[in-house]
Structure 1
Amino acid sequence: MLLLAFLLSTATAVADERVAVCHGYGCIAQADIHYSQGQLGDIRRLLFSAVDADGERKMLAEAVGKLYRWAGEQSDVRNDRGGNYADGHVAGKMDCIDHSTSTTRLLALLESRGYLRWHRVLQPEPRYFLGLIANHWSAVIEADDGERFVVDSWFVNNGEPAVILPLAEWKKGAGPDV
């Protein structure tokens, strides 16, 4: 009986996950988001449908969108719109600091669960205006071949697939015009 209780408590601890998602610009507020075993199973199946690193990046864009959509069901981040101006003064709005921090946390969750097979998660990277001022940040992943990519959810409305671009192109200003 004691063994059964231990196994059930261990399964529960492993099954569900919580991630703090930043909002309010500059990560001044955080929502504690709960992801169920079923949701994480959906993400696992999505990512494991990829057959190579390129496919994993495509599925990862979808996965990040889903994770944010589920976060929006539990918090005001559902109000976030791409860029910094489309969401006005609504609760839950997010700037690139909020997105780069939260997306890195979401990616780290996927990595810790073994869902990333061809990439590893790195620290967020800045993009500089005129080479002097960090004016945009993004989450970053590195492929097994050493190529780095941004996973930038700031460009899109809550719940939409993240934009994934080579880091070098993003640093030169690539990405949707928001």
Structure 2
Amino acid sequence: MRFFCLLVLAAAAGFAHAVPPVALCYNYGCASRVEVRFADKEIDALDARLRTAGSAAEEREVLAGVVGRLYRLAGKQTPVAADRAGNLLDAGANGRMDCIDHSTSTTALLELLAARGSLRFHRVLAPSRRGVIFQHFSAVIEEIAPPAVLAAPAEVPDHVGLLLALCDCPDVVEDIPRPPAPPPGEPGARYVVDSWFVDNGEAAVVLPLADWLNGDGPNVQ
């Protein structure tokens, strides 16, 4: 009976940590859709990479490569491995992706990471659009206030305790070093995570939304 209970608990634990499927789309305008399943160990490895980031800027830098890795893994299961930067290099190929495919799919991948708590400095927003006639879409993230981090206890010099015991010297506590305050971030700042600019599996392009809206980004077609 005990062995049976252990099996049930192990199965329940595995189910609780299972990565839900992610719906990706391709062949331009989300004409084709497919569910991709990532292994737990794959997502755990990417989560570990993201947790090395100590700031929002570092998280964006790591996130660019993580998104590329997710697309490479997806390419092992689906035709999106054929996708190339822009729209011309893979014209007619099964698995090609335009900016609608990328903005939709990248947002789904970012939401997967966010749901697992892997994004500590950003939240995922709806895709953004630039242009009127020649339109372009991209996934978007927004910087948030960093998570609370417990500061390391300050070292108390030996003389502080002695002086507090011998006299009423409240000023002596000024001798206790204070840990430096973390540098201020920019909560509310928005950035695009644009995977349309690169070949399948390469790091996505991450840049400020305002710059992207003004036309910034690699010159691909």
TM-score (normalizing by structure 2): 0.76
Q: C-alpha distance in 2, partners of 1:47/1:147? A: 19
Tell me if structure 2 keeps the 8 A contact 1:140–1:148.
Answer: yes
Distance in 1 between the 2:50 and 2:208 partners? 19
SS at the partner of 2:135?
A: strand
State the partner residue of 1:153: 195
**2:55 aligned with 1:49:** no
| Structure 1: distance between partners of 2:86 and 2:16 | 36
Is contact 1:17-1:36 (8 Å) kept? no
Measured after TM superposition, the shift of residue 167 of structure 1 is 0.2
Task: Report the counterpart of residue 135 of structure 2 in structure 1.
Answer: 135
Q: CA RMSD in A?
A: 1.3
Distance 2:118 2:212 in 1: 25
Secondary structure of the 1:133 match is coil
Matching of residue 59 in structure 1 with residue 42 in structure 2: no
SS in 1 for 2:76: helix
Which stretch of structure 1 is more off in the superposition, 94-103 or 133-142?
133-142
- Say which structure is richer in strand: 1
Q: Percent identity?
A: 50
For 2:90 and 2:113, locate their aligned partners in 1 and report how far apart those are by CA, in whole Å: 28
For residues 89-128 of structure 1, what are the alpha-carbon distances to aligned partners after superposition, in whole Å with 9 as ceiling and x for unaligned? 1100000000000000000000000000000000000011
Matched, 1:170 2:212: yes
Structure 2: unaligned runs, 5 residues or longer: 145-186
Contact 1:22 1:98 (8 Å CA) reproduced: yes
Spell out structure 1 runs of 4+ moving beyond 3 A.
Answer: none
- Residue 13 (structure 1) shift: 4.4
Q: Aligned equivalents of 1:171 and 1:72: distance in 2?
A: 29
Contact 1:126 1:134 in 2 (8 A): no
Q: Distance in 1 between matches of 2:197 and 2:63?
A: 15
Distance 2:133 2:12 in 1: 49
**Counterpart in 2 of 1:76?**
79
Q: Gapped runs of 5+ residues in structure 1?
A: none
Cα deviations by residue, 1:114-145 (Å, 9 ceiling, x for unpaired): 000000000000011xxx33610000000011
Question: In 1, Cα distance between the equivalents of 2:35 and 2:219?
Answer: 30
Structure 1 residue 147 displacement after superposition: 0.1
Task: Find the aligned partners of 1:106 and 1:98 in 2 and give their Cα distance.
Answer: 12
Tell me which residue corresponds to 1:93.
96
AA aligned to 2:190 is R
Contact 1:121 1:140 in 2 (8 A): yes
Kindly indicate whether residue 19 of structure 2 is the aligned counterpart of residue 16 of structure 1. Answer: yes
